[in-house]
Amino acid sequence: MADPDLTKIAYKTIQQGKSLAGLAHKQISSKLMEYLAPEAIPNTSPIPSDTLNELRRSIDDLADLDWQEAEQGIYPKSQLFDIPWLEWAARYPLLWLDLPSTWQRRKSKETRSIPKQIDQEAYPNYYLQNFHHQTDGYLSDHSAGLYDIQVEILFNGTADSMRRRIIAPLKRGLKRFSDRSPGSLKVLDVATGTGRTLKQIRSTLKDVELFGIDLSGSYLRQASQYLNTKGTKFTQLIRGNAEFMPFEDQSMQAVTCVFLLHELPPNIRQKVLNECWRVLEPGGIFILADSIQTSDSPQFESILNDFHKVFHEPYYNNYINDDIEAKLLNSGFNAIKSQSHFMTKVWSATKSV
Ligand SMILES: C[S@@+](CC[C@H](N)C(=O)[O-])C[C@H]1O[C@@H](n2cnc3c(N)ncnc32)[C@H](O)[C@@H]1O
């Protein structure tokens, strides 16, 4: 990489650019909705200026930490610039074309509009929904092609920085197995989606065996395109349910799970955490990342409470008040720690030997 000062300026400029682009997209699409589909406007409270300032501060803190951890060599700096600009630019117009059907679904409270050819028996009922009012839910290539751009817009360009908060605790946890060859270590990402987290892990831990599991074949196809490129160690992507994963007991040295729990009913959250514990080797590390919660981020309570009014997130209200630490303990995890970064809370926990 070039001069560190220039690289830092480039990184900050890109982050600010992404943030402005996200804000502009949201403002223009809201205005369009006011004119074209006023019935779809959600009934949310305006965000107070103090909260907006707090949001800006926590975005800046996140960018600072992201940079510092790259400088410390926790992950390569090149990761901060790993954005498929051309692909996203080519797909961006599709987002606008998709908006009217999103408004229509929100207006008519239609939340289960899933492609007809889908074999509904193959999926749990809670999954067959248009999460975020997304066209086709998680069940089409169209949805998979737009997902990453939608998430970056939602989080004003910080989604990858928030996902990266799992890397430092993951590396710390894997130190326990430093007497083994890196190629023998197995790391699993649960509900991997389009594979953004796996891509970050792969660029940090080049030799470990990586696995990703998700219910969506379309999302996994997208992940495979990003991950299994020439010269990169193969990542195994498996279509399956996180409630009962096709992995042996104690077969993984680390398990990660990013942005899944808030999309699960509470009893399923517990089942998934139990399953993560089952596949983890004693001494292994589990890193969980998901939305912040009301108990530790009271300053953002109004935003959290309004989130499900803007996006179809049927289990979000329950999630933000759920005691995840109790669920982790219940599964058998210990040494539980958590920390919040902008809109994401990261837990780390171990399975005792
Ligand atoms: C909000 S996305 C998060 C994806 C990814 N981890 C990320 O950071 O963007 C939720 C993902 O969970 C997957 N999912 C939901 N329920 C699941 C389940 N029971 N088993 C496996 N995957 C599931 C969805 O298909 C989707 O890819």
Q: Is 150 in the pocket of ligand 1 (CB under 6 A)?
A: no
Tokens found for residue 143: 């949805």
* CA 147 to ligand 1: nearest atom: 9
Rounded distance, CA 129 to CA 257, Å? Answer: 20
Task: Name the pTM for this structure.
Answer: 0.96
Rounded distance, CA 266 to CA 277, Å? Answer: 17
Question: CB burial class (10 A; 0-12, 13-18, 19+) of residue 103?
Answer: buried
Q: Give residue 2's pLDDT band: very low, low, confident or very high (50, 70, 90).
A: low
User: Which residue's CA is minimally distant from atom 4 of ligand 1?
Assistant: 193
Q: Give residue 43's pLDDT band: very low, low, confident or very high (50, 70, 90).
A: confident
pLDDT for 343: 97
pLDDT digits 0-9 by tens, 304-319: 999 988 899 999 999 9
* CA 189 to ligand 1: nearest atom: 6
Tell me, in angstroms, the distance from the centre of ligand 1 to residue 192's CA.
Answer: 6
pLDDT digits 0-9 by tens, 154-189: 999 999 999 999 999 999 999 999 999 999 999 999
Tell me, in angstroms, the distance from the centre of ligand 1 to residue 126's CA.
Answer: 12
Residue 347's beta-bridge partner residues?
A: 288, 338
Q: Give residue 42's pLDDT band: very low, low, confident or very high (50, 70, 90).
A: confident
Core vs surface per residue 265-280: b (16+ CB within 10 A) or e: eeebbbbbbebbbbbb
The answer as to CATH 3.40.50.300 being correct for domain 160-351 is no
Rounded distance, CA 272 to CA 278, Å? Answer: 10
* CA 192 to ligand 1: nearest atom: 6
User: Which residue's CA is minimally distant from atom 8 of ligand 1?
Assistant: 258
pLDDT digits 0-9 by tens, 14-33: 999 999 999 999 999 999 99
Tell me, in angstroms, the distance from the centre of ligand 1 to residue 166's CA.
Answer: 16
Tell me, in angstroms, the distance from the centre of ligand 1 to residue 193's CA.
Answer: 5
Q: Give residue 1's pLDDT band: very low, low, confident or very high (50, 70, 90).
A: low
Rounded distance, CA 332 to CA 326, Å? Answer: 10
pLDDT for 5: 83
Domain boundaries, the chain: 4-155, 160-351
Tell me, in angstroms, the distance from the centre of ligand 1 to residue 151's CA.
Answer: 13
